[in-house]
A and B are shown apart, each in its own frame.
Chain A
Amino acid sequence: MPVNKKWMPKILAFCCNWCTYTGADLAGLNRMKYPADVRVLRVPCSSRVNPQFVLRAFQKGCDGVMVCGCHPGDCHYTSGNYYTRRRFMVLKEMLEFNGIEPERFQTRWISGSEAAKFRDTVAEVSELVTKLGPNTVFNERRAENV
């Protein structure tokens, strides 16, 4: 690989099957273009996302994590995204406390018809995370402990 290659962040997006994943598919169908640094991980509902998954991603060196679901009130499973909202409000505070910049972790609501919103959100998060540079918080922490 070329040494002078521009650094690209690694962003993981947990997307619920019914809204955001569908919205991402629609963005593809409409051939919308967005940065190639996001990887979508499909889950049935945003409430399936255990905060530990997010922690694991940051721990393993992920530069940004998104948890995306249906808009509040529109959850396919009635109430799942309300749990998501509460769980990740708490996690975000905890991440900040641990030195992870708040911009690196985003909870967003994107419906199945909001292809443009998916594209714009990915572009926005990608830009924010690129500006911050690589996530080294947990690596440094590990080094301190040695």
Chain B
Amino acid sequence: MSRTGVFVCHCGSNIAGALDVERVAAAAGKLPGVRYAASYKYMCSEQGQQLVKDAIAEHELDRIVIASCSPRMHENTFRKLLKDTPVNPYMLEIANIREQCAWVHADREQATEKAVDLVRMAVAKVAKNKPLHSSFIPVHKKALVIGAGIAGIQAALDIADAGYEVTLLEKESSIGGHMVMLDKTFPTLDCSACISTPKMSEVAAHPNITLMTGSTVESVGGYVGNFDVAIRQKARYVNHDICTGCGLCETKCPAKVTSEFNQALCTRTAVFRPFPQAVPAKPVIDPESCRKLIGKAKCGVCQAVCPLGAIDFEDKDKLITDTYGAIVVATGYELVDWAPLYPEYGGGKYSDVITGLQYERLVNASGPTEGKILRPSDKSVPKDVVIVKCVGSRDKKKGRAYCSRACCMYSAKHAHQILEKIPGARVTVFYMDVRTPGKNYEEFYDRAREDGARYVRGRVAKIFRENGKLICRGEDTLLGRGVEVPADMVILETAMTPAQDIRELCAKLTISTDEYGWVQEAHPKLRPVETQTAGVYLAGACQGPKDIPDTVAQAGAAAAKVCILFSKNEIEGSPMISAVDENKCCGCSACVRVCPYRAVMLEEIDSRELSGAVKRQVARVNAGLCQGCGACAASCRTGAIDLLGFTNAQILKEVDALCL
């Protein structure tokens, strides 16, 4: 028989004012298994806690029920108190007679009756409680950062500076992401490369950072503190241990394909560095355009000219596995492929209709035109430029209802740059709203208008060619009439969209995405850089459209979360997780299928049956992965898997106690 102690809290007049606490305590004293029942003014106070300790000693209590405020408030307080007593901290139940009784019922009689019921349920449940003990999981103090744009770079640097090892993964052949492609950054007009390339070199030189370019995540196993990650490093065909990055091969390579870094505005060779300041500053061979590797020609010119013999056509993909304690996802964004979505804008047939990112390359001093704004079709200087905002965003018909957030600011920057660089230029910006919520953002937008940018409120409905001009036809919704603006060049400020392979990566990490593919944070306000999976954090635009300052801030926050995790040698896991009774388990795997954390697995065991020794499958719970939701317990046909702390027996006793 259990020896339960029941303590009814007055909570000043919060509870005692609304119901008869003495009657509740008296009724509790008569319940089966209850050895002691009392009420006190404030159970959570020092004196109240002492009362519990004294009663445990005097009446040899082995389990406790506290009737007080919500367990979300003080369950931990009382668990802590029990740590100093012979009673296990999990031999405790809280009856919520404040938030869910005293405060919500006006009738004193009814409230008292309900409180008695709630105490009876808790007493019945606690009789079935079993002592539980926390498990401790060791923390492997090495972090994996996926994606080496500015978010990943910042997160990696912060973690590495705190003294922990970091592996920084990048699928392209150089780190830097989108930020190094930009010319200037708003609102200060800092040169983007000038502020990001020093960070890139810092990454390359940092003793705590291992840089892995051309690499992707192949598989992820394990759990917080102990993720087993397999990384695929694509064949480079250039031995970077030997290569000095002299660049001779690049000058001799005969294969020419469009440059991804320069947004198809010029070409690159098959053996290439995407841009001069690339990190690592050594080339790789693109197997899809190399004449020798696609087998079209003998070629091999690079191999012949390389003075060090660094070219290796036999290079193969490598699979590298390592254990990481924490993972930061920083995979960034892509720009929406606007051409198929917008046949009304020519669908890509007018070469002078370009994207904002193409413009960034045009205006950049290291870009294809060395910084001169020349339109792609005839390399002439455009005098009339139209900027169209919200291309692909804020339009449900085009599939994206969200605001892409950075475009209002960079379109103001584009307007400013054109008016500054081209004398006599006329810039028209078609907008839906102008959103400038950031430090010095509104001032920057004012400046663009003072420079002479003409803002027209409305969407462009059609772009067509007439007399050598691109005519942008739309509506000025403020004047309520149609407008046609002739342009030499049109810049489309296209929407940010999640990286194409993000869902695949999220499935490997068991984290979720929203309807568009942006990675879901654990809580939109209070846990913005954490995910549902413990030990996996978010930085930058993979979570949603973001500008650079916000991305850098979030990367720092994610790094801080990693450092908090790494500040401990082991983490305490909740003992309220699932457990399997192997004798009852029939190995049907229903629990394996419903588990959102892949915490339940089938394992073969040796078993003695009537027919002799056999091998059979049973479910096993990984204590590091299980979060204690109990979906498995409700799915189990034989009642073999149960959730500790909320077992079938405990809940059924509660139900029975209510229905007395």
Contact = CB atoms under 8 A, between A and B. Distances in A.
Interface of A: 8, 10, 12, 17, 21-22, 24-25, 27-29, 31-34, 36, 39-45, 47-53, 56-57, 60-62, 76-80, 83, 87, 119
Contacts of B628: 44
Nearest to B627: A77
A78 B655 CA distance: 27
A124 B104 CA distance: 16
Interface in B509-561: 512, 532
Contact of B110 (A27, A28, A36, A52): A36
Contacts of B658: 10, 12, 39, 41, 57, 62
Contacts of B117: 39
Interface of B: 70-72, 96, 98-107, 110-111, 113-114, 117-118, 121, 512, 532, 576, 594, 596-597, 627-631, 633-635, 643, 646, 648, 651-652, 654-656, 658-659
Contact of A48 (B532, B634, B652): B634
Given A25-B100, A33-B105, A57-B655, A39 B114 contact: yes
B103 A48 contact: no
B17 to A, nearest CB: 12
B630 A42 contact: no
A27 B98 CA distance: 11
Nearest to B522: A76
B121 A39 contact: yes
B337 to A, nearest CB: 27
B627 A36 contact: no
A36 B113 contact: yes
Nearest to A30: B103
A75 to B, nearest CB: 8
A49 B646 CA distance: 10
Contacts of B107: 36
Contacts of A77: 532, 596-597, 627, 629, 631
A62 B659 contact: yes
A32 B104 contact: yes
Contact of B634 (A10, A27, A49): A49
Contacts of B113: 36
A42 B643 CA distance: 13
B654 A41 contact: yes
A9 to B, nearest CB: 12
A106 B469 CA distance: 65
Given A36-B111, A77-B596, A50 B121 contact: no
B166 to A, nearest CB: 28
A56 B96 contact: no
B630 A43 contact: yes
Nearest to A8: B110
Contacts of B96: 25, 40, 42
A12 B652 CA distance: 12
8 A-B pairs with the lowest CB-CB distances in the bound complex, closest first: A48-B630, A28-B99, A60-B659, A77-B629, A47-B631, A36-B110, A28-B103, A45-B629
A47 B646 contact: no
Nearest to B72: A25
A22 B100 CA distance: 10
Contacts of A24: 99-100
Contacts of B646: 43-44, 48
A48 B654 contact: no
Contacts of B659: 10, 12, 57, 60-62
B71 A78 contact: no
Nearest to A28: B99
A78 B99 contact: no
Contacts of A51: 634
Nearest to A54: B655
Given A12-B658, A31-B103, A45 B72 contact: no
A28 B659 CA distance: 24
Given A32-B104, A36-B111, A41-B654, A47 B643 contact: no
Contacts of A50: 633-634, 648, 651
A80 B655 contact: no
A144 to B, nearest CB: 21
B652 A53 contact: yes
Contacts of A47: 594, 629-631, 634
Contacts of A27: 99, 104
B631 A45 contact: yes
A31 B105 CA distance: 9
Contacts of A41: 121, 651, 654-655, 658
A135 to B, nearest CB: 10
Contacts of B71: 42
B104 A25 contact: no
A134 to B, nearest CB: 12
Contact of B655 (A12, A22, A25): A12
Contacts of A25: 70, 72, 96, 99-100
A56 B643 CA distance: 19
Contacts of A62: 655, 658-659
